[in-house]
Structure 1
């Protein structure tokens, strides 16, 4: 009979299954509460449960009943708990769970990420405090790129550690408004080649004292027709926010807002170069555009040089100017004549004019948007000609007058010498 019981008891024991509801190991922060529940199935009668540490250290559970136990973790101490189950067998059935204690109470802290300056090296520090154990890895992400840092470990008196990692970089303008992320991964050894990881991450925005100024972009229609509205906008990127100033030919222009100028009903005077200069504490940048105004010819002027009244045989230059874009062509007509003259710059040279060239002249100034006409009068007079006998007559009279005067002089000296008497005879014979 005893032999039969000895055979039955192992059979009963082997059919009992003992389980604990937590995976092995059980991670718990220092000072945290551990709750474990041990169950047994296949036991024909109500089993009895007992919890104890493997090394039989003093153990004070908060609560223990029917396989459930709750207790506080001990500071910096890993323990292994055993659940013993008695189910009509001479020896208890057991299950173990290793309680691994760790400390990682808060997310890491990031410092040095604000008030960065473009082009100046900066050290950003990530710090994780009160760690146990201090086996950690630190990962940095700058924007979307993983970067390397340098790690430091400082042991605290309470047995925990402070881990810090420093990342050194030189900020650029693109960093402003970006993010930097520090990820601290705590590695918790569990024995038998096993480990568990606790990960905490902290991200911080980068605040860069950029003091930068980028190129200017000018937008707006720059080829317009007279009477339209000119609108130009000047955009520049910088920190602090750049202040744009519009000028034309050195004169500051009023703008409808800080970056846009609007001019309605434009005229020829609005054509030309417009300059936008943006300024901030980083300096200044400048950009220019040329505004082209198109329209029919206008503002015409005609000049005749040396004069519109001249003598036959003289030359004259006619100059005509006009405000026009596209450039105008100039055609000179004489009233009553069919053969015009053309000029690309509005200058005409008329040579060896005669009285027949007197009359009314017209200049047609034309581009594809319209035309305008100008008129002027030329008057060519014949040159005055003296009769052929006038000059000899005048010369003889003068000569006779001179001879009479000479004769009177010589007669006054007739009795003074022989030379005087001879000269009187010569003059009188000539007369």
Structure 2
């Protein structure tokens, strides 16, 4: 290798040392983080984030920060929080707070004259010795380029004919650009239409599909622009009318409708618009109940109940706007779901029967509840029918009373709301010592049933015995009669032949004798009988068959007198 001359070595050191020095912190405990180069378009703005530490900390009090141009000690101050300093660039702003180690810089309305290098300097409070310029650590180079970005136009939303609309055009990044000129042009207007960033206009149906253009012009005459298309909607009106049980009722200032339960209601939605539209009826659950494309859409509610209470919405949707109106239906119904609870002061609950027993020194709490729309008025009434006395009244859904044994009586719960009345009676009776318990009552009921069965069987037996005795007595009496007639009833043939009286021979072998009727006698004689005359009839009696030879039956006579 060749020998290096001392003079060339010094030259090399002079070139290398500045390059190495730039990346080295001169003083320990001082550092800064900031971008070394930033580009911004002419007329726009840019924000440069920046943080630093000084004396190994980033927390200070009453400190100052300065952005300056080189050279180190004499360069101009372009941004600071020190109000006593002379600032050369009013469009440079120290946004950060040096007390928190923040040195963020914002440049607005950037121009070509803003190009160049800048560095940050920190100074503690007036009584602090901490002061440092971060010149050697890093400098930030600002470059200003030609304007190419388009302006930003605010959202127009829905544009409806006849309704004022406000729109704003601004540079990108929400920067204040005083050097930029902003103007508006309209496709059906020649030349400049408006020359302010924010404009207000009233669109018409003729503006539909017209264009609005915002132009942004720099001081050097460079222009960028943005164009939007107007989609103008025609005004759409939606009205609702209704019928209840065939009677039309429509009040523009009343959207809360009361309907009695069981009614029929027809809601009619009418839409006025020159654009095509879809009409929809929805309920409070956003459930679609009816839809169509006609100018009128009806919704029919039949046999309405409390479940139909709610808000109904008619919506008209065009290709660019949706409009609608609401109507609230309140279904009224009489008192219902009456419930009575009975509870003793001992905590025991009694079943809500028509009668409840109360012990001595016991207090029962009777609670009556009933719902209704409008809310029911519930009262307790004491006393039998015709002698009732109201003892409590609650303007709500329930009423409550306390009953002691000395107040045992008939209690009636009444609930009404103008649409109907509902009632229920409870008999509170003092429980006697001899009253059976439910278990005893059940056993007694079973015993009474079997006693009834036994009594029924005994009755049948006694009846059968009486009938049997009657038959025996009747047979015995008949037997005596037969014996008497057979002993005393024999007459001579002379007596039979001598009589001139009319008689009839009744002979029925092998049967008991029976008495002939008066008509039989009359028919047999063929003669007219006098009521006072005495008549006779022949009756033949047959004795029980014997083992001996049969004998000729004897003829007996009985006295038959005509009535």
Report the TM-score, using the length of structure 2 for normalisation: 0.37
Between structure 1 and structure 2, the one with the greater Rg is: 2
Structure whose residues are more often helix by fraction? 2
Choose between structure 1 and 2 for higher RCO, CA contacts under 8 A separated by at least 6 residues.
1
Structure whose residues are more often strand by fraction? 1
Report the TM-score, using the length of structure 1 for normalisation: 0.46
